[in-house]
Amino acid sequence: MTLNAKAATLRALHQDLLVLPNAWDAASAAAIAAAGAPAVATTSAGVAWSRGVPDGHQLSREDMIAAVRQIVAAVEVPVTADVENGYGESPDDVAETVRQVIAAGAAGINLEDSRTPADPLHTPEEQAARIRAAREAAADVPDFFINARTDVIFFQKGDRAEVVDRAKIYAEAGADCLFVPGLLDLAELQAVVEASPIPVNAMAGPGSPTPAELRDAGVRRVSLGVALHMSSYAAAHRAVTELLNAGTYDAFTDASEVAGAIMRF
C-alpha cells in the first residue's frame, strides 16, 4: 500500500468515530494493531520517556523520527505521528519535520499550537502559517492528515470561543481535524463540534465519557494520549509487587496472549 493510500485510509476513518490508541515503540504498536486498531498514533510523552527524556518538547526531532520509522515498520495500518510543536518555531522548521515524518512512512501528524504551559500559545495567524507549511511540505502525499492540536483548554489559555476561532483559521490553513485536549464536557464538546468546520478530536482516559457518548456528541476521533503507556507501567508494577510479596505469577498469565504479535521485536 502506498503512503497516500494509507493516508486516505486514515482520512476515511474519521467519517465515523476513530478510537486511536497511542504507541511509544515498535512492540507497543504491534500489540495495538494485533488488538484490532485500524490505525496507530504515537505519543510524544511515551516516546520521550522510553528514551530517558522528559516530556514537553525535550525529545529531539531525530529521536522522534527514529521512533516513527520503527513503529511504521512494525504495523500494516496507518501511523500518525505526534510532532509536538513541530521541532521549531518557524514554518520552515515545521515543513522540515513533515518531510522527515513522511520519509519515515507516517500518514499524518499532530501539530500543537503551544510551546510550554508557561508560554503564550502561537497566535492563530502564526499557527496557520505553520499549518500551511506542513500542508505544502506534504504536497506529494495529498491525503496526508494534519490534526491541529490547540491547547487553549488544556493550558487554560482561553475559552470555547477561542477554540472555535482557531478551528476556523486552522481549517482554512489546511488542517483536517481539530484536537482539543482537556475538553471533555459533552455539551461543550458538542458546541465546538457544531461550530467547527473540521472534525473534532478529544483526548480520553479514566473518568472520561465513553467512546459511544463522545460519538453521540459528534466527536470523530478519540485519542488516549499517554494513558496506555502509563497503564503499562502500572501493569509492570502490579506484576512485580505480586511476585515479590506473594511469590506468585498470576499477573503474568495474559502475557502469552500478545507475545505472538511482538516476539519478532
pLDDT one-digit tens code per residue, 7-26? 999 999 999 999 999 999 99
Please say if the pLDDT value at position 145 is more than 60. yes
Please say if the pLDDT value at position 256 is more than 80. no
Domain ranges, residue 145: 3-226
Q: What is the pLDDT of residue 118?
A: 83
Q: Tell me if 27 is assigned to some domain.
A: yes
Number of domains in the chain: 1
Mean pLDDT, to the nearest integer, of 147-164? 96
Mean pLDDT, to the nearest integer, of 71-79? 97
Tell me the one-letter amino acid at 187.
Answer: A
Q: What is the pLDDT of residue 264?
A: 62
Beta pairing partners, 54: none
Q: What is the pLDDT of residue 56?
A: 80
Q: What is the pLDDT of residue 255?
A: 74
Q: Tell me if 260 is assigned to some domain.
A: no
Mean pLDDT, to the nearest integer, of 143-162? 97
Pair 148, 180: CB distance under 8 Å: no
CA dihedral in degrees (28, 67, 12, 191; nearest 10)?
90
Q: How many residues are listed for the chain in this entry? A: 265
Q: Tell me if 182 is assigned to some domain.
A: yes
Mean pLDDT, to the nearest integer, of 99-128? 95
Question: Which CATH number fits the domain that encloses residue 60?
Answer: 3.20.20.60
Q: How far apart are the C-alpha atoms of 66 and 264, rounded to whole Å?
A: 18
Please say if the pLDDT value at position 261 is more than 70. no
For 28, residues 6+ apart whose C-beta sits below 8 A from its C-beta are 46, 228, 229, 232
At 34-72, the pLDDT tens digits run 999 999 999 999 999 999 998 887 899 999 999 999 999
Q: What is the pLDDT of residue 254?
A: 78
- pTM as predicted: 0.95
Please say if the pLDDT value at position 243 is more than 60. yes
Q: Tell me if 140 is assigned to some domain.
A: yes
Q: Tell me if 256 is assigned to some domain.
A: no
Q: What is the pLDDT of residue 217?
A: 98
SS3 of 17-67: CEEECEECCHHHHHHHHHCCCCCEEECHHHHHHHCCCCCCCCCCHHHHHHH
Please say if the pLDDT value at position 265 is more than 70. no
At 200-218, the pLDDT tens digits run 999 999 999 999 999 999 9
Q: Tell me if 59 is assigned to some domain.
A: yes
User: In the chain, what is the greatest distance between 2 CA atoms, to the nearest angstrom?
Assistant: 60
Q: What is the pLDDT of residue 241?
A: 97
Cell representation of residue 170: 486552522
* Alpha carbon separation from 231 to 2, 37, 67, 140, 224 (Å, rounded): 33, 17, 20, 38, 11
Q: Tell me if 89 is assigned to some domain.
A: yes
Mean pLDDT, to the nearest integer, of 157-186? 97
Mean pLDDT of the chain: 95
Q: Tell me if 74 is assigned to some domain.
A: yes
- Mind giving me the DSSP string for 118-154? TSPPPPHHHHHHHHHHHHHHTTTSTT-EEEEE--TTT
